[in-house]
Structure 1
Amino acid sequence: MNAVTDNNQPWSREEFEEKLRTKGQGYHIYHPIHVAMYEGKLSKEQLQAWVANRFYYQIGIPLKDAAILSNCPDKEVRKEWIVRITDHDGVDGQVGGIEAWIQLGEAVGLTREQVTSLKLVSPGVKFAVDAYINFARQRPWQESVCSSLTELFAPHIHQQRISSWPTMYPWIKEDGLSYFKKRLTEARRDVEQGLSVTLEYFGKSREMQERALEILQFKLNVLWVIADSIMLASTDVTTDGVPYLRQPVY
């Protein structure tokens, strides 16, 4: 007679990590706009729209990480996590991720003012990013750490851009790709800490493990909605032959 499986028992650490990694099947690398980007099918204007809109996400990352720090009483965790803020803001004269993204904007033909003014950012992108920041402010710090685990899947997408853009989009200045090269190593380092915290904190029960999967899905949804909004903002859409009317802003 086979033993009855207890569905309330927590998964092993290895099983839990595998389930977190399986969530990568919903990563925005599979979104149509990212697939088209990788295949070299985006127009210059569409790629510019993507860069301009994603800048709002970039400037939100340090705010998210600062929120995690403000909620975290563990000094050792804070000492490691704070590096994420300096990675993006820059420190000791080094170019941070935010400045590197502005340089990416210039490499695709935008001006610094066009990027930093946020005038090209769609309402949907702002709504999604703000929801992510508010999550980090309002939820326990361990949940916010878990939400950062989309970084598990990021190195592949960065490498895709480094490898394909010079061929697919030769008009882009190659020095503008420094952000992606920078994140290749940073993301892998960040994953180690985030994954360690998540496996330890949420691994105590099946209920908590399932909660971790829900949190990671929330972050995947944020990234997917950002891609949806950018695609809508940069693609000609018609309904019954009538062009989609984007919201007028005065």
Structure 2
Amino acid sequence: MARPLSREQFAARLHDLRGRYWDTHPFHLRLHSGGCTPPELRRWVANRWYYQLCLTRKNAAIIANCPLPEVRRAWAGRLAYQDGPDADGTGGLADWLVLAEAVGLDRAEVVDQRHLARGVRFAVDGYLHFCQTRPWTEGVAAALTEMFSPDHMADRVTAWRRHYGWIDPAGYAYFEHRIPVARADSARTLELVLDHCVTADQQRAAVDALAFKCEVLRAVLDAVDYGADR
């Protein structure tokens, strides 16, 4: 029987998946280098909306699958962050719609998903299904892409300001709000995974879950890239 990794080895194994994150995808490289046309950038924002919609449901699924009250309480804050604490137009979803308008999209067209690519729908729905049907520890481990995202989002804002001067600066509120939250969330998420995945099988499943989430994000970009300017 395989022996579990030490806490430090396990953390290192999770961090080793950094190279599979979606920032190395050819579309993202173009997106950050100024190589995307306005329609391509709008397509990315419109399709990413579907992923944003999924987040509250996948977080609710993790909570529903978790038998530990202390974990449920800690994870529940993500629901209010994304949906907003009330109907006052704040929260991650509201910020994303401001971004959509900032890049020239009509809010109603984003909300009704008329620009949604088939591949994006399948990839995101697959992620939601994973979190609904797998143990809560695996759903939490899949969220560890948060470890890789804050620096990437900070680079995105810098790159977009440099290369896409036509974007309304008001649209950057999503990233400005999300970056510090993602930094804090990723630290807490890593601690949860390290604390609760203690057997070799649990650790292997956590690594596989994070690898799966990286593939989901790259599949989203495959679909966006394939459909751009078509």
> In the alignment, residue 72 of structure 2 is paired with which amino acid?
R
In structure 2, stretches of 5+ residues that fail to align are none
What is the distance in 1 between the residues matched to 2:210 and 2:159?
28
TM-score (norm 2): 0.96
SS at match of 2:148: helix
Matched, 1:156 2:137: no
What is the distance in 2 between the residues matched to 1:9 and 1:140?
21
Quote the offset at 1:229 in angstroms. 0.3
What is the distance in 2 between the residues matched to 1:232 and 1:135?
25
1:208 counterpart (187, 194, 202): 202
Q: Percent identity?
A: 38
Return the structure number with greater relative CO, CA threshold 8 A, min gap 6: 2
Look up the match of 1:56.
50
Task: Verify the 8 A CA contact 2:147 2:187 in the aligned structure 1.
Answer: no
Moved more, 204-213 or 127-136: 204-213
Quote the offset at 1:235 in angstroms. 4.5
Look up the match of 1:3.
none
CA RMSD in angstroms comes to 1.3
2:174 counterpart (173, 179, 198): 179
What is the distance in 1 between the residues matched to 2:90 and 2:157?
19
Say which structure is richer in helix: 2
1:19 counterpart (13, 24, 41): 13
TM-score (norm 1): 0.88
What is the distance in 2 between the residues matched to 1:206 and 1:67?
24
Aligned residues: 229
Off by >6 Å, runs of 4+ in structure 1: none
Quote the offset at 1:218 in angstroms. 0.6
Task: Verify the 8 A CA contact 2:123 2:216 in the aligned structure 1.
Answer: yes
SS at match of 1:82: helix
Quote the offset at 1:207 in angstroms. 3.0
What is the distance in 2 between the residues matched to 1:155 and 1:98?
18
In structure 1, stretches of 5+ residues that fail to align are 1-6, 237-250
Task: Say which one has the larger Rg.
Answer: 1
